[in-house]
Structures are given as C-alpha cells and as structure tokens.
Amino acid sequence: MRHRSLLVLTTVITTGALTLTACGSRDGGDSKDNGGGKKTTVVIGVDAPLTGSLSALGQGIKNSVDLAAKTANKNNEVPGIEFKVEALDDQAVPASGQANATKLVGNKDVLGVVGPLNSGVAQQMQGVFNSANLAQVSPANTNPALSQGDNWGKGEFKRGFKTYFRTAATDVVQGKFAAQYLFKDAGKKKVFIVDDKQTYGAGLAAIFAEEFKKLGGEVVGTDHVTVKETDFSSTADKVKTSGADSVYFGGQYPEGGLLADQIKKTGANVPLMGGDGIQDPAFISASGEANEGDLATSIGYPVEKLDTAKKFIEDYKAEGYKDPYAAYGGYSYDAGWAVIQAVKAAVAANGGKLPTDARAKVVEALGKVSFEGVTGKVAFDEYGDTTNKQLTVYKVEGGKWVDVKSDTFNQ
C-alpha cells in the first residue's frame, strides 16, 4: 500500500505530461485532386495551435492562409497551379510541431509552410524544414534567435536556417519599443517584470528589461509564472509590496489576463504592459476586473487602419470563416502570399512549369520576394526577417484594445 501511492503518483504525472504532448495532429487537408484537368497541385502547409487556449490565434492564421490560397486560385495568380492548404494542429506544444513538420516534409506537394505561432515550437521545426529544404514563413514568431542565431545578443548574427522566414518583427524591436514607450511616453520609472519561462516570454522580458534599465528606469522586482496555472495571487502581492508603478509581462494572454486581473485585485493600481502575445480580445474578456489602462505592443500598424488591408478584411468576411482573423491574420495572409509569389517566381523561371527541385527554388525565390501586402511592404532581409519594422502600442480603453501610438522603429 505504501509504495503504491508513490508509484501511482509518478505514473499519473508522467502520463499526464504525455497526454499534454501526445494528442497533436489532426488531418486537416485532403490531398486528393478535384480532377480539374491538368493543374498541378501545390500544398501550402499550416502549423498553428488549432485547439487549446491559443486556438483563437491559430484559427485566424489557418483561415487567413486559406484565404490567400483561395484568392490565388480565383485570380489564377500562378497559371497551371492549384493551391491547397493543409493545416495541422500543434497545440502550442513543441514536440507536436516537430511531428507536424516531419509530416509536411513527407508530402511532396508541400512547397511552403506558414507557421507556427509560438517561437518555442518554431525552434523544434526549423531543423526538420532546413534538412528537407522546405520554406517556412512564420506570421508570429518574434524570438530573435530563430533567424539571427543564439548569439544575437552579443552582436554576432548568424543565420542558422536558410529555409526560415517571418513576416513578424522580432522581440528586439518589440521589447525596445515597449520600454521606450513605457519610460518616455507613459512616464513609468519603476517596473516589475514577470515572464512565463517560455522562449517567447522570457526572451521578450529580458530585452525589455535591458532597454528599460538603459533608459534610466529601475526594475524593482522579477518573478515568473507557469503556463496553464491560474493562481498568481502571491506574485500579485509581491508586485504590490515592491512599490512598482508598472508591470511588464512577457507571455501570452491566458496567463497575462489572469495576472493583470489579480494584480488589480490586490489594490495595486498599476498598468500591465506586454507584447503581442497578450494583445488579444481574450485578454480583456476573460477576466472580470477591468483591465483599463493595460498596454500591449503589437507588430505592424493596426490592420483595420491600413488601406492595403481593407480588401483582406472584406474578403475574410465574405468567406464567412467561423473565427476572426485575430492578431496575426494579416501577417498570415502575407506569409501565405509570399509563398505563392515564390512559387510563381519559381514557375516563371522554369518556363511555366513547376521545376523538379521546386522546394529549393521556392526557398531561393522567397528571399527575393517583394510586394505590397496586407500589412505593408513584404520583403525579407539577409536573415529571413521582415524588413517591415512598424509597431503599434495598444491600450485597453472601454473594454477594447485601442491603438495609441504607431511608429516605425529604427534602433
């Protein structure tokens, strides 16, 4: 009896951990031909969390890429090519992302992949795609190391994976922008920093902290929270007693919303600021306490305000997707469109037919892509990062994210 409970405990915990990682892929696309004649099928893979607490963002990514493919087919963007989308669910779990990457690589019709949402997932996928020479464009990854190598912080930039591209600006840009806004525009001098220990959250918080200190601000305390936990009241009380006038949170909206709420409940009337991970309606709607005054940076100008995005929004509505395009819809559409443009260039260079080494040619063409997209000009620099460094600060006003400052970031 005595040993049993320990044994059972370990069993349960291990299996619990396994269930988190094991239930991954769900077959989204069908690869069979419509029999529409001689058109060659090119599949654009999508990897994003389609279920789980980040599914609001993942579904937006999937639908936006789907819209890009449909638009290309309708306009006959690449003559002789029919685009299809195969969407796989990674549940924001790195191991699932890797399994999905292997699956996409195995389908020879896949010439480009849009995704994933999470930087931590991307880390596990890059190697798989690189060895298969399959292009990957993430609409949402912001961790600098993904494109600039692990030593980017020391000023050594080295592109690790030639197949990796992204339409999202990195956390270097975002973290610094946030620090400058909080220090200069909002006039906050004492910040308490919390992160969720994930690749994205911890990275962003570190960049923010460095810039905030450089500007002359003071970091009065730090703490970490665990993803999927919900009781942060002890951390919230630490924020209160630290005397901070603001909180910076590196992480995603499920924990961010709860943390902001619980900090307000302690009576500490300080705004919480975060990155694009918390800039979601769910951040506000999920917790009852008012989030008024909380801040978030997000990449790009607000999609609703860009002239280039109007058509995207109209088309998205017309398609009648069940979920909204969410924070990364525009970037996902652009990422999908970049893949389509790369396929177009590869086909054009090969006399109107898909080249035999299509994947390599698409990677090559992707580096040279340049077009006016939903979110502005889409092009990639020598690391595969977007050349578009526009950022916006959003503030919760009247229960909604309202943009308060948009700017182009230059160091």
Residue ranges in contact with another protein by CB under 8 A: 1-3, 5-6, 8-9, 11-13, 15-16, 19-20, 23, 51-53, 55-56, 194, 197, 222-226, 228-235, 237-238, 241, 254, 257-258, 261-262, 265-267, 282, 285-289
Strands (E) in 167-303, as ranges, are: 190-195, 218-224, 246-250, 272-274, 295-299
User: Nearer to another protein by C-beta: 3 or 154?
Assistant: 3
**Closer CB to another protein, residue 200 or residue 232?**
232
Q: Report in angstroms the alpha-carbon separations of 144 from 152, 276, 285.
A: 7, 15, 30
* Closer residue to another protein (CB): 129 or 249: 249
Tell me which H or E stretch contains 147: helix 145-148
Tell me the CA distances in angstroms from 398 to 21, 40, 191, 298, 402, one per residue in order.
38, 50, 24, 19, 9
Q: Are 98 and 125 in contact (CB under 8 A)?
A: yes
Cβ pair 135, 129 in contact under 8 A: yes
Nearer Cβ to another protein, position 234 or 411?
Answer: 234
Specify the residue, 272 or 339, whose C-beta has the smaller distance to another protein: 272
Q: How far is the CB of 19 from another protein (least distance, A)?
A: 6
What DSSP designation does 169 have?
P
For another protein, which is the closer residue by CB, 2 or 74? Answer: 2
For residue 22, what are the contacts with CB-CB under 8 A and spacing of at least 6? none
Of the two residues 29 and 58, which places its CB atom closer to another protein in the complex? 58
- Tell me whether residue 1 or residue 318 sits nearer to another protein (CB atom): 1
Provide the 3-class DSSP secondary structure of residue 318: helix
CB-based contacts of 14, cutoff 8 Å, min separation 6? none
Two tokens at 91?
């549940």
Longest dimension (CA), the chain: 75
What's the rounded Cα separation, in Å, for the pair 205 and 197? Answer: 10
CB of 299 to another protein, least distance (A): 21
Which lies closer to another protein via its Cβ, residue 281 or residue 355?
281
Output the smallest distance, CB 20 to another protein, in A: 8
Work out how close the CB of 64 gets to another protein at its nearest, in angstroms, rounded to a whole number. Answer: 17
> Which residues lie across from 224 on neighbouring strands?
195
Cβ closest to another protein, residue 213 vs residue 224:
224
Q: Closest distance between another protein and the C-beta of residue 224, in Å? A: 4
By C-beta, is 43 or 46 nearer to another protein? Answer: 46
CB 22, min distance to another protein, A = 9
Q: Is the dihedral of CA 275, 280, 282, 284 positive or negative?
A: positive
Q: Order across the sheet with 272-274: list the strands.
A: 218-224, 190-195, 246-250, 272-274, 295-299, 390-397, 400-408
CA distance 2 to 398: 56
Q: Least distance in Å: CB of 138 to another protein?
A: 22
Q: How far is the CB of 360 from another protein (least distance, A)?
A: 38
Q: Whole-number minimum distance, CB 214 to another protein, in Å?
A: 23
HSE-CB at 189 with a 13 A cutoff on CA atoms is 1
**Chain mean position to CA 28:** 20
Q: Specify whether the CB–CB gap between 240 and 249 falls below 8 A.
A: no
Shortest Å distance, C-beta 146 to another protein: 23
Q: How far apart are CA 279 and CA 391, in angstroms?
A: 13
The minimum distance between CB 50 and another protein, in angstroms, equals 10
Cα(408)–Cα(164) distance, rounded to whole angstroms? 24
